[in-house]
């Protein structure tokens, strides 16, 4: 019988995270303080992050030990399986071999707990009692709620008001794990109170929710802030995905020619690809593709320059491909991919030609999601479906060219809490959005020149 799942034992779980800055041909430019416009130092960050994470943020040490307590919690769902997509390959009639790493097996249903768990751990160790964070549709908030629960910490989540009202299931998930969830804008913070005074029906935005969470953390000594993507330490934590995949490919006697990850802030793409990119930097022939939405085309249409990490302009300036921090992308269902920029590490690697990018329209993404659900059976998150579109397109190219390539994509999460999106697709209510060139130009024109 041909093998479908390649499974590692818990003993084979990676004991260290990989830090790609040790091997990058060019280091990303440093984050700049929004006031002084000088590189930020550890002291600038210590009001909202624990020192261990700040050290990882600036570290150039190739390997970072994963603490024993983190490994123990990882073992609740890790190592995650690597699947060979036999049924999808057959449906496509492709000579390509398609593999996917399934991160939907985590309790929160995505890759995000790979970083929320260590983030909670380091904060707890630093004496922090509570984490304040924001969430859009709820993927990050639920991953942080899970981590807080497992380490006995309080978690306060500011959830964008429209999602709070329209998508109750992730809120209920967070509450089940003991988190306190406020619709944002809330009356808990000054930022939220002001926004509500101006407009009591304010639907909220991710930028506003970030501002509330940062204010909460900065004004309480026992509270820190936590971010689910973009930062270097988040990318390092996610490399457990690619490190496991490497061992699984060894067992399969194969090696990927093409690696694809969907790209919102860049963390799951970083996670699946960075350990393989180490080989590419050392001469291996291999392509890495970031799959992004055509309606929020950060890498393919953005500019490489300093911009704020958040919509409100509270964070340091980061060197990224950006559409402008106040660009508001159209309301596609892949909410996790609507970030205006990408992780500085991913951006630098893209700039240096080590990563490629491809933008996909919503309808073709859902077509791919449906084909995947009807062959491989897992219903993927709409975000993940961008990577699936990419994998299917590459597999069809192999068919045309008669080439037997090995394709790996990261199945970053399942879509069982996103079924409304599937319903809308099946009822013909979804459409493609034009590439919002005018709005992007407008948002970029407002950026400071640094």
Ligand X SMILES: *Cc1c(COP(=O)(O)O)cnc(C)c1O
Cα separation of 198 and 383, whole Å? 33
Minimum CB separation of residue 193 from ligand X in Å reads: 29
Q: Which is nearer to ligand X, 50 or 265 (by Cβ)?
A: 265
Cα separation of 271 and 268, whole Å? 5
Residues counted in the chain: 450
Cα separation of 409 and 387, whole Å? 6
Minimum CB separation of residue 323 from ligand X in Å reads: 15
Q: Which is nearer to ligand X, 342 or 394 (by Cβ)?
A: 342
Q: Which is nearer to ligand X, 118 or 336 (by Cβ)?
A: 336
Q: Which is nearer to ligand X, 128 or 277 (by Cβ)?
A: 277
Cα separation of 223 and 388, whole Å? 38
Minimum CB separation of residue 2 from ligand X in Å reads: 28
Minimum CB separation of residue 346 from ligand X in Å reads: 8
Helix and strand element counts for the chain (H, E) = 19, 15
Token pair 């390959």 in the structure block, residue: 89
β partners of residue 17: 64
Minimum CB separation of residue 270 from ligand X in Å reads: 8
Q: Which is nearer to ligand X, 100 or 223 (by Cβ)?
A: 100
Report the interface residues with ligand X, using CB under 6 A: 110, 112, 139, 229, 262-268, 336-337, 381, 383-384, 412-413
Minimum CB separation of residue 49 from ligand X in Å reads: 18
Minimum CB separation of residue 383 from ligand X in Å reads: 3
- CA distances to 124, 332, 359 from 292, rounded to whole Å, are 35, 12, 5
Cα separation of 392 and 375, whole Å? 12
Minimum CB separation of residue 342 from ligand X in Å reads: 8
* Residues whose CB is less than 8 angstroms from the CB of residue 111 and which lie 6 or more positions away in sequence, other chains included: 103, 238, 241, 267, 268, 271, 410, 412, 413
Contact call for residues 412 and 268 (beta carbons, < 8 A):
yes
Q: Which is nearer to ligand X, 141 or 183 (by Cβ)?
A: 141
Cα separation of 318 and 201, whole Å? 32
**Cα 401–chain centre separation:** 33
First-last CA distance in the chain: 59
Residue nearest to ligand X (CB): 413
Angle between helix 362-375 and 384-401 (nearest 10): 80
Minimum CB separation of residue 139 from ligand X in Å reads: 4
Structure tokens at 320: 């990224």
Q: Which is nearer to ligand X, 139 or 223 (by Cβ)?
A: 139
Q: Which is nearer to ligand X, 97 or 361 (by Cβ)?
A: 361
Q: Which is nearer to ligand X, 142 or 223 (by Cβ)?
A: 142
| Among the listed residues 385, 363, 329, 366, the one whose alpha carbon sits nearest the alpha carbon of residue 432 | 363
**Cα 26–chain centre separation:** 23
Minimum CB separation of residue 106 from ligand X in Å reads: 10
Sign of CA dihedral 362, 365, 144, 169: positive
Minimum CB separation of residue 414 from ligand X in Å reads: 8
Q: How would you class 255 by CB atoms within 10 Å of its CB: exposed for 0-12, middle for 13-18, buried for 19 or more?
A: middle
Q: Which is nearer to ligand X, 128 or 355 (by Cβ)?
A: 355
Q: Which is nearer to ligand X, 348 or 412 (by Cβ)?
A: 412
Residue 155 Ramachandran class (φ > 0 left, ψ -120 to 50 alpha, else beta)? beta
């Amino acid at each position: 019988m041909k093998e479908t799942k390649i499974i590692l034992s818990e003993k084979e779980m990676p004991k260290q995270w990989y830090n790609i800055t040790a091997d990058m041909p060019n280091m990303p430019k440093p984050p700049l303080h929004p006031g002084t416009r000088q590189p930020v130092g550890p002291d600038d960050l210590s009001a909202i992050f624990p020192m261990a994470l700040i050290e990882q943020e600036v570290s150039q040490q190739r390997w970072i030990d994963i603490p024993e307590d983190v490994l123990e919690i990882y073992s609740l769902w890790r190592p995650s399986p690597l699947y060979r997509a036999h049924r999808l390959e057959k449906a496509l009639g492709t000579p390509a071999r398609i593999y996917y790493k399934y991160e939907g097996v985590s309790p929160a249903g995505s890759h995000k707990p790979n970083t929320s768990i260590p983030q909670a751990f380091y904060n707890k160790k630093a004496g922090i009692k509570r984490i304040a964070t924001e969430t859009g549709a709820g993927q990050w908030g639920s991953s942080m709620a899970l981590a807080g629960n497992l380490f006995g910490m309080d978690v306060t989540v500011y959830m964008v008001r429209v999602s709070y009202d329209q998508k109750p299931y992730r809120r209920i998930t967070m509450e089940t794990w003991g988190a306190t969830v406020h619709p944002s804008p809330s009356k808990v913070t000054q930022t939220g109170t002001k926004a509500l005074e101006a407009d009591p029906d304010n639907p909220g935005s991710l930028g506003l929710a970030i501002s509330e969470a940062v204010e909460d953390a900065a004004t309480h000594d026992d509270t820190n802030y936590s971010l689910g993507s973009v930062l270097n330490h988040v990318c390092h934590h996610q490399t457990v995905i690619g490190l496991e995949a490497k061992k699984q490919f060894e067992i399969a006697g194969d090696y990927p020619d093409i690696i694809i990850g969907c790209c919102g802030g860049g963390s799951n793409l970083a996670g699946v690809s960075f350990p393989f990119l180490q080989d590419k930097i050392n001469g291996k022939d291999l392509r890495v593709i970031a799959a992004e939405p055509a309606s929020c085309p950060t890498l393919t249409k953005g500019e490489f320059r300093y911009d704020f990490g958040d919509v409100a302009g509270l964070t340091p300036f980061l060197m990224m491909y950006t559409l402008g921090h106040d660009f508001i992308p159209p309301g596609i269902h892949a909410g996790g991919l609507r970030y205006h920029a990408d992780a500085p590490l991913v951006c630098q690697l893209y700039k240096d030609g080590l990563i490629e990018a491809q933008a996909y329209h919503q309808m073709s993404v859902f077509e791919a999601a449906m084909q995947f659900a009807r062959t491989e059976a897992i219903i993927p998150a709409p975000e993940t479906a961008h990577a699936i579109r990419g994998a299917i397109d590459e597999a069809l190219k192999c068919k045309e060219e008669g080439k037997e390539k090995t394709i790996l994509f990261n199945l970053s999460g399942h879509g069982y809490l996103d079924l409304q999106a599937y319903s809308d697709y099946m009822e013909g209510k979804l459409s493609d959005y034009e590439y919002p060139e005018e709005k992007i130009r407008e948002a970029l024109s407002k950026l400071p020149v640094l």
